Amino acid sequence: MSLLPKIYTLKNEARDELYQWFDKEIHPLPKKADGSIDPMGIGLVDNDVDAMRHAYVSGVYVMEFSEETSEMMGRINELSNTDYSSSAEGAENMDFWNNDIGRKYGKQAKTRRELFELLIKALKNSELIITPDDTRKYNGRKLLRRLPKSFVIKIKENMTGANIEFLDVRNKIVMKKEEFILAIKRGKYPGYGVRKHKSGEYPYSIRDRFKFNNLG
């Protein structure tokens, strides 16, 4: 069993689910010797299955966590990319565009199967980008080229919109609000502080040059 929190394991879970449906209903995908789909096989990038994968995974993150968490995890996922060529820029734009489409339909879908079907329609209607040469441009927030030493994002809210669960991105640790507040008070997260409110205490990001911290 994986020791990683669900927010990390969900990516491959959703990818594999998408591949199974795509292989059966759209066109065959590369297989391993045992007949299972090979996620590292040839023909899975810069095409229709690549577009569907990004959109579907992003949509599932919306359904399991939130639109904001999905958007941030999509950006964090691209951190390892060090290729800044024009061809890489096109592929990057394609990924961010399709992530955005996935979030759009993730907010509409009631089930993952419904999300898949909505995205198939989007694919057929040319709403998704299936080649890096597409001239349409994604205008939202893009890559995080680097992270602060301590980087924590909210990943879950309660019914009233209060932040209740957080992710330490560098250390891949999920914390409840009380755990995060205690860690801040012990000096573990110097980029964060604790404010008191009549409803209790809550963590916040101390203002710095990074504009993507999402704690108010």
Residue 143 corresponds to which amino acid? L
Of 1, 100, 117, give the one whose Cα is nearest residue 59.
100
> Token pair for residue 146?
């680097």
Q: What is the pTM of this model?
A: 0.88
Domain ranges in the chain are: 6-124, 152-205
- List pLDDT tens digits, range 149-167: 778 989 988 888 888 999 9
Please state whether beta strands 173-176 and 163-168 pair in parallel, antiparallel, or not at all (unpaired).
antiparallel
CA 84 to chain centre: 21
- List pLDDT tens digits, range 81-121: 544 445 688 999 999 999 999 999 999 999 999 999 999 99
